[in-house]
A and B are shown apart, each in its own frame.
Chain A
Amino acid sequence: MKPIRVLLAVTVAGFVAGFSAVVISAASYVSDPFPVSSSAGRSVFTYNGLLVSYPYYEVGPEATMVGASIILIVGAVALGACLWSRRAH
């Protein structure tokens, strides 16, 4: 397997791992509400038949992992385009 394809596979794996981390973080956020309070001033939602509320959701370092993987994917493909030659293929 050529090194450029290995690099591309690693970056795609990083992207998938980062996106999976985002999904896991969102799932844990949704499953951990706090009871609704009359003085909270927040939006009210239903969770398992109960009225609950949530703090504002902020994506953590998982988004940075996904973003860095996006940049690396572009870099790997650009490097492959630079190194490609008709003679080698």
Chain B
Amino acid sequence: MTSDFDPRFDPAFQRGFDRSDNTPTTGELPAPQRPAVEREVIEPVEFSSAEIRFGVVERIDTRGNPWLRCLWVIAAAFIVVGVAGQWIAQNLFSTGASSGSVISSYVIPSVLQSLSPWFLVGGLIAVIAAVTINAVRWRPPRP
């Protein structure tokens, strides 16, 4: 039986090999000794319902996320401030010179016109970020 093994390969991987026979069947190489592996004992981890458990992806709830709520508030506030700033700046540019005050004629319109685009861009970025986070964390409801 042993002569049927191909001497070029390990008999353990050839048809007809008897695992109970520890003697080398081909007489070429002893069976490889596997080093003892120290296995680390890992304590089981408690998962909440909002996480992956036993391979089942559960719904991740974003409704209680205070940062996400804050992001929506910031988005709305920044967009309102940006639009209002542009509108007020344009009004002051057209009527401020007749008011007799350099602050309402030059300073406030210039400041608003410089800052309101940043508020608009920041608000739009906040909207995009909030929608993206909601979309990434959304899971279909379980049947």
Contacts and interface: CB of A to CB of B under 8 A. Distances in A.
B133 A81 contact: yes
Nearest to B120: A70
Interface string A1-32: 00000000000000000000010001001100
Interface in B100-138: 100-103, 105-107, 110-111, 114-115, 117-119, 121-122, 125-126, 129-130, 133
A74 B122 contact: yes
Contacts of A29: 107
B118 A57 contact: no
A30 B103 contact: yes
Q: How large is the interface on B (under 10, 10 to 19, 20 to 34, 35 or more residues)?
A: 35 or more
Interface string A33-49: 10000000001011100
B20 interface: no
Nearest to A83: B67
Interface in A41-89: 43, 45-47, 54, 56-59, 63, 66-67, 70-71, 73-75, 77-78, 80-82, 84-87
Interface of B: 47-48, 50-51, 61, 64-68, 70-71, 74-75, 78, 97, 100-103, 105-107, 110-111, 114-115, 117-119, 121-122, 125-126, 129-130, 133
Given A30-B102, A63-B115, A85-B50, 13 more contacts: A30-B107, A45-B100, A45-B101, A56-B110, A59-B115, A70-B78, A71-B121, A74-B125, A78-B67, A81-B68, A81-B70, A81-B71, A84-B66
